[in-house]
């Protein structure tokens, strides 16, 4: 645990003190070439509400995929339990938690869609 924490602190230190000044040097001269590249690729400017909505939708989609994987895992565990009550109960608990989590994710997605549509 100490080793992981040490690597984390060192990487944050390296990014903060070595990478940020490099990015700051190129900001002034990078504006015009980046606009040209953006126009050629079809990338358009967007407002903050759309960007936040897109990021939240992507995260919620990833969480939904994780819940799907948990549901499949719980189903396979239940099918291969072969009458073992402990494995069956574990599978039922995973399925119950997955359904509750899926309801929370769908609700969060609906709220996010509603709020971002009102911001735009």
Residue 40: C-alpha distances to residues 30, 35, 36 (Å): 16, 9, 6
Question: What pLDDT score was predicted for residue 80?
Answer: 93
pLDDT at residue 99, as a whole number: 92
Q: Are 60 and 109 in contact (CB under 8 A)?
A: yes
Q: Residue 1: what pLDDT?
A: 67
pLDDT of res. 113: 79
What's the confidence (pLDDT) of residue 7? 65
- DSSP letter, residue 42: T
Contact 105, 57 (CB under 8 A): no
Res. 86 pLDDT band, cuts 50 70 90: very high
In terms of pLDDT, which residue wins out, 53 or 62?
62
Q: Cα separation of 108 and 58, whole Å?
A: 12
**Percentage of residues in the chain having pLDDT higher than 90:** 24
Q: Is the whole model's pTM more than 0.75, yes or no?
A: no
């Amino acid at each position: 645990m100490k080793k992981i924490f040490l690597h984390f602190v060192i990487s944050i230190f390296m990014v903060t003190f070595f990478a940020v000044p490099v990015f700051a040097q190129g900001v002034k001269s990078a504006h015009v070439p980046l606009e040209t590249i953006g126009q050629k690729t079809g990338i358009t400017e967007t407002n903050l509400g759309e960007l936040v909505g897109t990021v939240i939708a992507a995260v919620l989609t990833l969480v939904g995929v994780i819940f799907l994987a948990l549901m499949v895992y719980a189903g396979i565990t239940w099918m291969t339990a072969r009458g073992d009550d402990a494995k069956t109960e574990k599978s039922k608990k995973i399925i119950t938690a997955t359904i509750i989590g899926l309801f929370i994710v769908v609700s969060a997605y609906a709220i996010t869609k509603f709020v971002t549509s009102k911001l735009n």
